[in-house]
Amino acid sequence: MRHVRERHPQRPRHRPHRHILVVDRLLQRLDALKPRLRNRRLAALVERERLSPLEQPDPLQRRDRQENHLVLVHPHLLQQLRNRRAGRIERRLQVRRVLRRHLVQLVHAHNEVLRAQHTRQRDVLSSKNFIVCVNKLDEVAAKNSSDLKTTFDAACAAVAKLLKKVGVDKDKVIFLPISALQGVGLFEGGETFPFYEGCKPAVAKPGFECIKTLEEAINYQDVPVRPVTRPLRMPLSNVAHVAGHGAIFCGRIDYGSLKKGDLVKFLPTNLKTDVKNVQEHRKDIAVGEAGMNVGFSINCKDKIQIDKIKTGHIVGPADDNEFAFYPFYVANCFSLKPKSKGGEERGIRPGYTPVLSGGTANVACKFVKILGCVTKTGPVEDPAFVPNGARFSVLLYPSKPVLFETADKLPFLGKFVCRDSGIIVAAGQITERLTEDEAVAKYGVNMADVLGQKPVAAAGKAKKK
């Protein structure tokens, strides 16, 4: 008899990240989904939502229309923050406008550690507007309808306590009870929970004296202004090579505008050329403004220079003297590095080299020198390491040429997160850019130690006998 090898139990297939129902209902309300996808996607979500907790919702962002301006950012697993921070999630939908100041955070209560870290990241990345939705209250109502208000108040108190730690005023947070499965508390004029009397916003606006639904809470937010008056800054998210058209540089314009004939410069390659044409969704446009995802080609026949341009490089005006490359950066950060399993403190030390994600760049950066540290007990002079939960100032040295801006002038390109083996260890903002001479003179940097060069042995060293 032929020997039959025993098969190992089949591993579960990787399940794609799913959208939560509240997002799908919002997108359907705003006509962001194609008609043929609506019923199929909604039916699948209704079936799957009750089977397992949605610990990893899919990142979705909504393109703007004349009246609707909405950006939805969902808490991700820590390993996937790189994709969210780099802006690559825009490919899931055709996003025209992404403004990070206007954020709606949907807080998932399945993991207290993740919830605290996501809230802290939003504090460091300057997200100050919060809408807290307490979902799945229909399950509580099915068990005992009298516990609805008690459950809702307890959830609001827990989230408010968490937000208070990062300096968010409770009165400015909008708390809403919803049920995405039943469509309760989502849309204006729709069904709401009887016990909920509404939320009175801190700043009254005409038509928003009392907010009862998520749609009203989103419409209540101020629409950010496109920063078109600032100098051009466009991080590249992709460099495509199209037959007959050459290299097409794709990305979102964070600041300024881009049009045909503009003289631009690529950093850190320092290539200067003029724009041949600008397209949005494969259609030529006269001008691309801040917040738009565009692609453009250049009048350059030097293939060697074009091949040097990679994802993470930044496009800016050729005549802007402030648009320059710097090898060193000073940043204010917040430590999120966890403890080891044994409880031993594993703080951030000089020489630590995590992966820094800012703009569309992902590059390893060396923590050359800890300039200062503030813990829960107060300032610490010359710290040996930075513990979890402490704020600190550090001198950074990227291992590859990369460009960052200061957060006070251009916030989108001055905020970053640091990852180590897929785990978030720090988040911060760039405060200063330094040349090599300035870093040596101001902070006493030894370039041999920064580059990891070992001292050369003496030429006349005695041979071993």
Q: Count Cβ atoms below 10 Å from residue 109 Cβ, excluding itself.
A: 13
* Residue 374 host element (H or E): strand 361-375
Decide the pairing of beta strands 287-289 and 257-259: antiparallel
Enumerate the β-bridge partners of residue 239: 249
As a whole number, the mean pLDDT across the chain is 75
- 3 state SS of 411: helix
Domain ranges of the chain: 75-220, 234-317, 328-451
Locus of tokens 């590059």? 363
Q: Count Cβ atoms below 10 Å from residue 425 Cβ, excluding itself.
A: 23
Enumerate the β-bridge partners of residue 132: 175
Point out the residues of the chain with pLDDT beneath 50.
1-19, 50-110, 458-465
Decide the pairing of beta strands 72-73 and 104-105: parallel
Domain 328-451: assigned CATH number: 2.40.30.10
Specify whether the CB–CB gap between 211 and 198 falls below 8 A: yes
Q: Residue 290 carries which DSSP code?
A: T
How does pLDDT run across 240-292, given as a tens digit for each residue? 988 888 899 999 999 999 999 999 999 989 999 999 999 998 889 999 999 89
Side-chain half-sphere exposure of 228, counting CA atoms within 13 A: 11
Q: Which residues contact 231 (CB under 8 A, 6 or more apart)?
A: 255, 256, 316, 317, 320, 322, 323
- Tokens matching residue 239: 């460099």
Specify whether the CB–CB gap between 232 and 315 falls below 8 A: yes
Measure the CA–CA gap between 269 and 267, rounded to whole angstroms.
5
Query: Angle CA(176)–CA(180)–CA(186) in degrees, nearest 5?
Result: 50
Measure the CA–CA gap between 23 and 17, rounded to whole angstroms.
13
Decide the pairing of beta strands 174-177 and 131-134: parallel
Specify whether the CB–CB gap between 340 and 365 falls below 8 A: no
- Tokens matching residue 152: 């809702």
- Fold that domain 234-317 belongs to in CATH: Elongation Factor Tu (Ef-tu); domain 3 (2.40.30)
- Fold that domain 75-220 belongs to in CATH: Rossmann fold (3.40.50)
Specify whether the CB–CB gap between 364 and 356 falls below 8 A: yes
User: Considering only CA atoms, which of 167, 133, 291, 288 is closest in space to residue 224?
Assistant: 291
How does pLDDT run across 328-361, given as a tens digit for each residue? 999 999 888 876 655 556 678 899 999 998 888 8
How does pLDDT run across 354-393, given as a tens digit for each residue? 999 888 888 999 999 999 898 888 888 778 888 888 889 9
Q: Do 328-451 and 234-317 have the same topology in CATH?
A: yes
Q: Residue 76 carries which DSSP code?
A: P
Q: Which residues contact 462 (CB under 8 A, 6 or more apart)?
A: none
E strand spans, 84-148: 104-105, 131-134
User: Considering only CA atoms, which of 280, 282, 284 is closest in space to residue 292?
Assistant: 280
- Tokens matching residue 368: 């050359």
